[in-house]
């Protein structure tokens, strides 16, 4: 008996057992499922993944049950089985899943999996080839290694909120749970590296990341700005701290975003809007950064008589990177979004036909034939695949 029916994607044939819940771990396992892996999501009896209860909004199924749109966002391309890991039956089923899987994901607090009888040593005994991804809030060790991690708390503790907002007095969280999402992305990236190494060594290993590590990992120039130059970045709204003009600028009846990221673009911009590129205090990027408020005032004065559509056309003609600020609805209605496969159609067990945001990666053969996974599974209802998974577990070593 074969559990996976995935025919596309570079990870087809890879089996993943996912013990994680909420968002960081489920996002990682969804990324692996999008790549063609067969993902078995293990959920707790009664309630399942925490996010099944996160809402509104909820969608009401044909059976009268409700499905959380939050859960739908992180669980496509998975199968669900309910296991009580404190029971003998649940532990036995998990042991067999581990034996038959390539990857295990978990985001319990440090020590929880050990207490359930599935320490990393025990998991390696069950399956020496197993790659284990473990995600925590603040790291597995260190003085605060056991601390619970929630995205907004991690955003604050890891510094990203101090860089986001209209001013240093107005720290703001990123509008999506970016720490969770980044931890999932880094986790999936680590799993792929460990699977590649397994081809050479024949053995699995443990991959660890955390919300703290994932956010620090994307500090980018704001990190080296402090570690190398001793200069602390702060929130300053919609304008870049190191490039000017780069940000959101008001015009008639709206605003547009521009990125003047080189002196060549600065000269082209000035030519298009009849400005002097060599004006004292504005001739070079460092000067413009030091005189940012003056530059913003100058640019917005040049834009004052133009509506967004006219202004964007003029910027495009001049070769200046520019864009609008779209609502979420506008993004999903945009032809460019649809052209990139960023919307997928799935058939949900109780909700029927659903449109979901799609995976962000596409794959092509050298001759241009697209090999991206296109047949996607809807996020499962709780325990939807339990019988099929148990039948699979009862068929020896056949995958």
Q: 68 Cβ partners below 8 Å, 6+ apart? A: 51, 52, 53, 54, 55, 57, 58
Of 180, 307, 335, 385, the catalytic one is 180
Neighbours of 264 (CB within 10 A): 10
- Answer whether the bond into residue 57 is a cis peptide, omega within 30°: yes
> What is the 8-class DSSP label of residue 261?
-
180 is catalytic: yes
Q: CA-to-CA distance for 96 and 89, rounded, in angstroms? A: 11
CA distances from residue 36 to 40, 81, 372, 387 in whole angstroms, order as listed: 13, 19, 9, 22
Q: For the chain, where are the alpha helices, taking DSSP H only?
A: 24-34, 69-72, 88-99, 112-115, 120-126, 151-157, 178-201, 211-216, 221-227, 263-273, 285-290, 292-303, 308-318, 328-333, 335-339, 386-393
Neighbours of 292 (CB within 10 A): 17
What is the number of H-type helices and E-type strands within the chain? Answer: 16, 13
What region does 117 belong to: left with phi over 0, alpha with psi -120 to 50, or beta?
Answer: left
Question: CB burial class (10 A; 0-12, 13-18, 19+) of residue 279?
Answer: middle
The long-range contacts involving 276-279, CB below 8 angstroms and separated by at least 24 positions, are: none
Catalytically active residues are: 180
């Amino acid at each position: 008996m074969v559990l996976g029916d995935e025919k596309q994607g570079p990870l087809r044939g890879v089996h993943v057992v996912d013990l994680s819940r909420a968002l960081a771990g489920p996002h990682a396992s969804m990324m692996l499922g999008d790549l063609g892996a067969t993902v078995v999501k293990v959920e707790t009896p009664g309630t399942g993944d925490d996010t099944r209860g996160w809402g509104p909004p909820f969608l009401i199924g044909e059976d009268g049950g409700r499905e959380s749109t939050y859960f739908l966002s992180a669980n496509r391309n998975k199968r669900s089985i309910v296991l009580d890991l404190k029971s003998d039956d649940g532990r036995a089923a998990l042991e067999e899943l581990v034996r038959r899987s390539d990857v295990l994901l978990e985001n319990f607090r440090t020590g929880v999996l050990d207490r359930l009888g599935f320490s990393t040593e025990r998991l390696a005994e069950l399956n020496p080839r197993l790659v284990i991804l473990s995600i925590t809030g603040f790291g597995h060790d260190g003085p605060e290694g056991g601390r619970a991690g929630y995205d907004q708390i991690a955003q604050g503790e890891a510094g990203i909120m101090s860089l986001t907002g209209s001013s240093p007095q107005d720290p703001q969280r990123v509008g999506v749970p970016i720490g969770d999402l980044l931890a999932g992305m880094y986790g999936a990236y680590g799993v792929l590296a460990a699977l590649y190494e397994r081809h050479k060594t024949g053995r699995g290993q443990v991959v660890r990341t955390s919300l703290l590590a994932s956010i620090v990992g994307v500090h980018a120039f704001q990190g080296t700005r402090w570690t190398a130059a001793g200069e602390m970045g702060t929130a300053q709204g919609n304008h870049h701290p190191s490039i000017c003009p780069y940000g959101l600028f008001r015009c008639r009846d709206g605003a547009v975003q521009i990125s003047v990221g080189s002196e060549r673009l600065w000269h082209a911009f000035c030519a298009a809007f009849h400005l002097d590129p060599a004006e004292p205090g504005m001739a070079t990027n460092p000067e413009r950064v030091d005189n940012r408020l003056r530059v913003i005032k100058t640019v917005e004065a040049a834009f004052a008589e133009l509506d967004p559509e006219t202004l964007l056309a003029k910027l495009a003609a001049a070769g200046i990177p520019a864009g609008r600020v779209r609502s979420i609805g506008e993004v999903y209605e945009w032809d460019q979004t649809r052209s990139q496969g960023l919307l997928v159609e799935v058939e949900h067990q109780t909700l029927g036909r659903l449109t979901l945001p799609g995976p962000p990666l596409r794959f092509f053969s050298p001759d241009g034939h697209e090999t991206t996974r296109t047949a996607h599974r809807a996020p499962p209802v709780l325990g939807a695949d339990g019988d099929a998974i148990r039948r699979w577990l009862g068929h020896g070593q056949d995958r």
